[in-house]
Amino acid sequence: MVGGGGPSPDVSSPRGGPGDPRVPRPGGDPRSRILGGRDRSARNVWIAVASTVIFFGVAAIVIVRSPGWPELKASFFDPAEFRYSLPKILSKFVRNVAIFCIAEVFVLLLALLLAVMRSLVGPVFTPLRILSAAYTDVFRGMPTILVIFLLGYGMPSLNLQGIPDSEFFWAIVALVLVYSAYVAEVYRAGIQAVHPSQVAAARSLGLSRWQSMRHVVLPQAVRSVIPPLLNDFIGLQKDSALVAFLGIIEAFQQATIIQQSDFNFTPFVALALVYIVITIPQARAVDRLIARDQRRRQAAAM
Amino acid sequence: MTESVRITGLHKSFGDLEVLKGIDLVVDTHQVVCLIGASGSGKSTLLRCINLLEPIDAGTIEIDGVAITSGSVDVNAVRRRIGIVFQAFNLFPHMTILRNVALAPEKVLGRSHREAEAQARELLERFGLGDKAEDYPDRLSGGQQQRVAIVRALAMQPDILLLDEVTSALDPVLVAEVLDAIRELADAGMTMVVATHEMGFARDVANDVAFLHEGRILEEGPPDRIFREPQDPETKRFLDRIIAAGRMEGLDVSGGS
Amino acid sequence: MRKLLLGLTVLTILAAACAPKSSSTTPAASGSAASCAVGDLNLHTPGQLTIATGNPAYLPWYGGTSIAGSDWKSGQYTGDPHTGKGYESAFAYALAKQMGFTPDQVVWEGIPFNKSFAPGPKDFDFAMQQISITAKREKAVDFSDGYYDVNQALIADNGSPAIGVTTLAGLKDLRLGAPVGTTSFDVIEQLVQPTTDPKAYPDLSTALKAMKNGQIDGVVVDFPDAFYGYADQIVGQFPPLGGQQEQFGLTFEKGNPLVSCVNQAIAALKADGTLTKLQNKWLQTDADVPVFS
C-alpha cells in the first residue's frame, strides 16, 4: 500500500530528496530497511557459511586431537562391529516396531476416551471426570519402567486363570496405560484450544453435545495437536526398549548383548542410527500435515 | 398475523454485569425486525438468548406460542427451528463447504447422506456458490463464507433466522452481496431478527426497527419513523453519530451530508 | 565483522592449543622388567588395590554378611566382597596378600558391568566379575590369566519340561533364559539353538523370577551358581562353547603394566595349590552333573 494523501504536505521543501522520510524507499530487503543500513543478503550468506565451517571444523579438530580419541573410535565406531551388529539389531528391531505400532493404536484410542471423559460437562458426569483425572495423575506419576516391571512380573505371578503370561502382552499393556495418560492431556489441550464459537455454531445448528464433539470439536482438536502427538509417539518408540526388562530381546537388548559379549559399544551407535533414520521421515510427514491444517485454521480464526 | 417470537421481561447478566435489563419484543411471522444500537448495547446477547445459546436470568421467550425457557424443553429441538448466523461466520474449517452445509441436516434431521448433500448443493447453487461446494472455507472470500454460513443455517429449514451483525466483519466491497442474499430471504418471507449497523439496509428491508441502548429497547417502530423522526434523545444521538460517520446517506434527518 | 573474525581466530587458536588432559592411569614407560614390589606398582590410588565388581554380588562368588558401611547388601543369594567369603572375594584377598597388600589396603568399587570394559581411564585397578575371556573382548581390555575354569549349567524347577532332558536336541523346544551379556546366553543361542527365542534378562534375579512365574522353562547359569538352590534341580551342564574351555579373567585397562604383576601372583597361587583349595572350599565341583550330549 503506497503512502500518500493524509495530512496536507509541507510544500516548502521539495519531496523526494535523499533524506526525505515521507517517501518510502523502493526495493531492498525489508528487514534491512527496518534495521537500517544497505542491502547485505549475499554477504550474509557467506558469513553464515564461513562461521559454520569454522565452528564445526574447530569442534572436529578438538575431538580428534584429544588423547582418548583412538580408543573412543575403536570402541564406538568399529566398522567390523558395525557390519556385524547392524543386521542382528535390525532383525530384532522388528519387535520394537510391532510393539510401538500396536501400542500406539490403543494409546490414541484410550487417551481420546480419557480426554473426552474429562471434558464432559454437567454434574452427573463428575465421577467420570474424577476417574479420568486420577488415572492421568497415577500413570504420569509412575516411571514407565516401574509399570512394566509391576505388570510384567507381577501379573503372571498371580497365577490366575485367564491372565496371559506373555511378556509381549504385558509390555504393550504397560506402555499403553502410561502413554495414554500423557496423550490424554495433549488431546485435552487440543479440545480446549478449539474456539468456543465453533461449538456455538454447531449447537446452534441443533447438533447435540456429543455430535458437536464428534464432528466439529474433535477433528479440529486432534489436527491441532499433531506435533505433540508425534512427540509422544516418538517417545513411545524409544520406550519400546524397556520391554527388554521382561526378557524380550528387542533391538536395544540385542545391542547390549553384542556389546557385553564383545566389549564394544559400536552396536549402540548402529542402533542410534536406526532410530534417527526412522524418526526423520515421520517428522517431515507431520510437518506437511501441520502446514495443511494451519491454512485451514486461519479461515476459522476470524 | 401470528407471533413467531414473543420476548417478555428478559434479563441477562454476565457475572455482575447486567447486559439485558428487561427486553420486551414481538416478532411476527414473515416479518423482519432489525436491531440497531451501539456495540455493547446487548444486540448479540439478545439473539443468543433467543436460540438458547445463553441461559437467561429472568423473563420468558415464546416461540410460536410455546415457552422455550422452561426447564423441560428440548433445547436441540428448539435450535433446529431457529437458525443463527454469526459475525465471524464460524464455518467448520476442516470440512468442505458442502459438508458444512449438509452435516446438520444429515445428523440432526436424519436425512440420508445423499439426500442431504443433494439439497445442500441445490441451496448453494441458489445463492451462487455452487462451484465452491468442494472447496474448504479457507479458499473463499469473507463475503462468500458468510453467504455459506447463511446457507448452512437455511439448510436446516428454520422457521426463524437470527442474523448477528453478519456484515460487520466484511470488507465493504463484499457487504453488498451478503445484504442481497438476506434481502432475497426477506422477500421469500423468512421471519428474521437482524442485528445490524447497516442502516440503509435496515431502512429498506425491515418491517420493524428496535433501538437498543444499554440493555433496553428505548424505541421501536417502522423504519421510516425511527430514521426520520426518532423520538428518544438517545436514538437521535445515535443516528446523528451514524450520519456523521458517513454510514447513512439519502436521509433528510437533521445535519449530515 | 572484524570483531567476528577476530573472535573466530581466537577460538581456533585456543582449540589447537587445547592441552590434552593428563590421564591418571597412563601406563608408565615400560620396557624394563617392571618391579612387582608393592611400592612400584602402577595403581589407580597409590597404596590401595582398587577392585571393581558388580552390585549386588552373588553367591558363591561373594558371601558373608555385609559389614557396616558397605554398599553391598547380603541376603539369601547375595554377599559382601569385604567379607573374604565366596570364591572371588577369597581369591581377591589371597591375590592381594600374594602381591604384598594387607587386607585393609583392598578397596572395593561397585560398578555396572559396562564399566568394566568401557573406553577411557578406569576408576579401579581391575574388575573381577565372573568375566569370561574371549578373543574379541581382548581388543577392548587386557585380561589376566584365567583364575577359574567355568562351565554352564541348566537349572529348572520341578514340573518343568526341562527336567530329565539329557541331550542338546531335547532342549530345542524349551523356553530358556539367561542374564544378558553372559556366556550363559551365548550357550543357549549357539549350542541349543532353540525354536523359541531365548530370553535375556537384566540380571539373574529377574531371570529366576520369570522362571518361577512359569514364563520360561529353565535358566542357564555358571556352573557354580547352579548349586545355590536358585531352582529345584540342576538338569545338566553344557560342553564348552567352541570346544575351548571357558575361563574367568580379571579385566584391566588396555596397556596397564599391572597385568604382568598380577599374572605372576596368580601363577604363584596356582603353583602352591591355593587356587584349588579356594575352589574346593567355595565352589561345589564334586557333584555328578551329567553333560548334555
| CATH code of the domain in which C172 resides | 3.40.190.10
Same domain, C133 and C254: yes
Same domain, C163 and C211: yes
| Chain C closest-CA separation from residue A88 CA (Å) | 13
| Chain A closest-CA separation from residue C141 CA (Å) | 8
Collapsing DSSP to helix, strand or coil, A28 comes out as coil
Question: What residues of chain B lie within 8 A of the CB of A293, using their CB?
Answer: 94
Same domain, C128 and C266: yes
Sign of torsion, CA B67 B69 B75 B79? Answer: positive
Cα gap A106→A227, rounded to integer Å: 19
Residues 147-206 of C with CB under 8 A from A: 177, 180-183, 185-186, 197-202, 206
CB of A256 less than 8 A from some CB of C: yes
Q: Are strands B32-37 and B17-28 parallel, antiparallel or unpaired?
A: unpaired
Burial of B224 (0-12, 13-18, 19+ CB in 10 A): exposed
**Nearest Cβ partner for B94 among A211, A220, A302:** A220
Same domain, C138 and C100: yes
Cα gap A210→A120, rounded to integer Å: 9
User: What are the pLDDT digits (tens) for C129-182?
Assistant: 999 998 888 988 999 999 998 888 999 999 899 998 888 888 999 999 998 877
Q: Give the predicted TM-score (pTM) of the model.
A: 0.74
Residue C2 lies in a domain: no
**Nearest Cβ partner for A208 among B76, B88, B153:** B76
Chain A contact probe: residue of B92, B109, B123, B161 with most A CBs at under 10 A? B92
Question: What residues of chain A lie within 8 A of the CB of B82, using their CB?
Answer: 204
Number of domains in chain B: 1
Q: Which domain holds residue B214?
A: 3-244
Sheet with C199-201: strands ordered across: C199-201, C176-179, C218-222, C152-156, C233-237
Residue B255 lies in a domain: no
Same domain, C96 and C219: no
Residues 220-279 of C with CB under 8 A from A: 254
Question: What residues of chain B lie within 8 A of the CB of A215, using their CB?
Answer: 92, 103, 107
Same domain, C259 and C234: no
Same domain, C200 and C102: no
The answer to whether the CB of C79 falls within 8 A of the CB of C293 is no
Q: List all chains that touch chain A, counting a touch as 3 or more CB pairs closer than 8 Å.
A: B, C
* All structural domains of chain A: 30-65 (no CATH), 78-300 (1.10.3720.10)
First vs last C-alpha separation in chain B: 39
Same domain, C177 and C222: yes
Q: Which domain holds residue C211?
A: 152-238
CATH code for the domain of B64: 3.40.50.300
Same domain, C156 and C144: no
Same domain, C66 and C104: yes
Residue C19 lies in a domain: no
Question: What residues of chain A lie within 8 A of the CB of C198, using their CB?
Answer: 249
Cα gap A244→C186, rounded to integer Å: 17
CB of C122 less than 8 A from some CB of A: no
Complex ipTM tops 0.90 = no
Same domain, C173 and C104: no
Number of domains in chain C: 2
One pLDDT digit (tens) per residue for chain A, 302 residues: 344 444 444 445 455 555 555 555 555 555 555 555 555 777 888 888 999 999 999 999 998 888 888 888 888 999 999 999 999 999 999 999 999 999 999 999 999 999 999 988 888 889 999 999 999 999 999 999 999 989 988 888 777 777 777 888 999 999 999 999 999 999 999 999 999 999 999 999 999 889 999 999 999 999 889 889 998 999 999 999 998 888 888 999 899 888 888 888 999 999 999 999 999 999 898 888 778 777 766 655 54
Same domain, C271 and C131: yes
